[in-house]
Amino acid sequence: MSETTTEKKKVIFSAIQPSGTITLGNYLGALRNWVSLQDEYNCIYAVADLHAITVRQEPKAFRQNILEAYALLLACGIDPEKSPFFIQSHVHTHAELAWILNCYTQFGELSRMTQFKDKSAKHADNVNAGLFTYPSLMAADILLYQADMVPVGVDQKQHLELTRNIAERFNGIYGSTFKIPEPYIAEVGSKVMSLQEPTKKMSKSDENVNAWVAVLDKPDVIMKKFKRAVTDSEAVVRVGEGKDGINNLIGIMSTVTGKTADEIAVEFEGKGYGDFKVAVAEAVIEVLRPIQERFSDYIANKDYLVEQYHKGAEFALRLSQRTLTKAMKKIGYLVG
């Protein structure tokens, strides 16, 4: 994990909030790609705990969620020897650059963010300034590491576009300071839908617990949730219009097994949805089993986790301080 190698390949940055639950959708849509990207790119990953406090957190649970998120990402396959992996609040440059970028982000731009509108409606009793300026902190996360690309889902595209606008505005005033990041959108498994409302994205905030599967759900729980998955009345396993539930299950099966939708349709020809749901559940259980086993090992070894997140934070601080210092000098701060 040397700083010289970080400059040879293209740099990818990504972070995930320590929500307390990482879903199958998070894993198949994002985290699995994070793991595969490590061989081709210089990846920098973080647990975005600064972002998490736009919603009130219970301190003891929050602390545990941060540690568990770190352990679970290691269990999913993040290799700290290949990819600097740290906890965001341990690297003070994130908050510092976020303040600077706040001053180069327009009020109108922030007010147009759909996530701000959605979360304000959801947490009407706590529409705080952090929720409003959240995208400026996200921009700081990315720009600090001169990232070439950022893996984004559809719901984060708007934030990345704003990051690009902020970087271009700053560069336009002061000259080349930040690299303009591009989106990295994976072609496969990018969107896993709700098992109960398959027109909606799978989300742990869904009040119906049968709508989503957590990466750490026990096998019997996973099986029950898939057995209860909403389908249609045709009872034919194939991709088709008006078959959102089955389309979703086929997509999940395809992502976890590598089989195409056509191959799955042939395999289950003449079989009912009951057999298919059990098969999807079994395939998911087998994919998650080694992750769950590794997670148990990591979470039981706190000394190792502390060693790794300290090492990741030290590396990230050295790397990000270069960008922060450069930006501050450009503005006119007395640096050094």
CATH number of 5-189+301-331: 3.40.50.620
CATH number of 209-295: 1.10.240.10
CA dihedral 249, 250, 251, 255 (to 10 degrees): 110
pLDDT number for residue 190? 56
Q: How far apart are CA 80 and CA 141, in angstroms?
A: 18
Could you tell me how far CA 54 lies from the centroid of its own chain?
17
**Following DSSP, what letter does each residue of 89-139 receive, concatenated?**
GG-THHHHHHHHHHTTS-HHHHHT-HHHHHHHHHTTT---HHHHHHHHHHH
pLDDT digits 0-9 by tens, 169-207: 999 999 999 999 999 976 655 589 999 999 998 988 888
Is residue 204 flagged as an active site residue? yes
pLDDT number for residue 5? 45
Which one from 179, 204, 227, 326 is the annotated catalytic residue? 204
pLDDT number for residue 4? 46
Q: Which amino acid is at 281?
A: A
The strand order across the sheet containing 11-16 reads 85-87, 42-47, 11-16, 149-151, 182-184
Pick from 193, 155, 141, 226: nearest CA to 28: 193
Is residue 200 flagged as an active site residue? no
pLDDT digits 0-9 by tens, 8-49: 799 999 999 998 789 999 899 889 889 999 999 999 999 999
Is residue 326 flagged as an active site residue? no
The ranges assigned to domains in the chain are 5-189+301-331, 209-295
Residue ranges in the chain modelled with pLDDT below 50: 2, 4-6
